[in-house]
Amino acid sequence: MSSSSTSNLRPAACFELFGAPKAALLTVSMQILTMLLEVAVYFILESKGYFVSNEVFRMVILPVATVYIGGAILAAFGVLTKRKMLITIHTTITMTLMLLTDVLAVSIILLMAIGKRSSYLNELPGHFVNERKFYR
C-alpha cells in the first residue's frame, strides 16, 4: 500500500466530514451559541441573587459578549465572501479575549493565595458575589 492510500483509510474527525467553509461556519455558529448560553447563565444567576454588584458584572459580560459575537459574525461573513481579513479580525479578537481571561484567572489565583494573609483581600469577594449562595 502506498502512503496516499493508507491516509484515505483512517476515520474522519468531526470537522473533516465537512469542507473547510462549512466547518468554519459550523465552528462560528457553535461559538455564538456558546456565548449566548454563557450570557443566559449569567442572567439566570443574577436573577437568583448570586451577584451583589450586578452593574459591575454587566459592564464586563455584555461588552465582551458583544465583541465576541460581533467578531464571530465578521468571521462568518469572511468565510462566505472569502475575505481573509475578516477571519483574521475574529482570530485576533478571540486571542485577545483568551489572553484577558488567562490574566484574570491568574489574578484570581494570586488573590486567593494572598487573600488568606490580608483581611481586605479576604473580604473582597463578598463585595461582588453572595458567598453564602455559592457555598450552598
Residue of 50 and 15 predicted with greater confidence: 50
Does residue 42 lie in a domain region? yes
Structural domain contains residue 81: yes
**pTM of the predicted model as reported, rounded to 2 decimal places:** 0.69
**Do the domain assignments include residue 125?**
no
- Determine, yes or no, domain membership for 114: no
Contact 68, 90 (CB under 8 A): no
Please report the pLDDT score of residue 1 as a whole number. 47
Q: How far apart are CA 97 and CA 94, in angstroms?
A: 5
The total domain count for the chain is: 1
Domain assignment of residue 60, given as a range? 18-103
Flag the least confident range among 34-48, 90-104, 114-128. Answer: 114-128
CB 6 within 8 A of CB 14: no
- Domain annotation covers residue 11: no
In 3D space, the residue among 68, 93, 81 whose CA is nearest the CA of residue 24 turns out to be 81
Q: What percent of the chain has pLDDT over 90?
A: 12
Tens digits of per-residue pLDDT, 31-48? 899 999 999 999 998 888
| pLDDT one-digit tens code per residue, 49-67 | 888 888 888 888 888 899 8
Residue 64 lies in a domain: yes
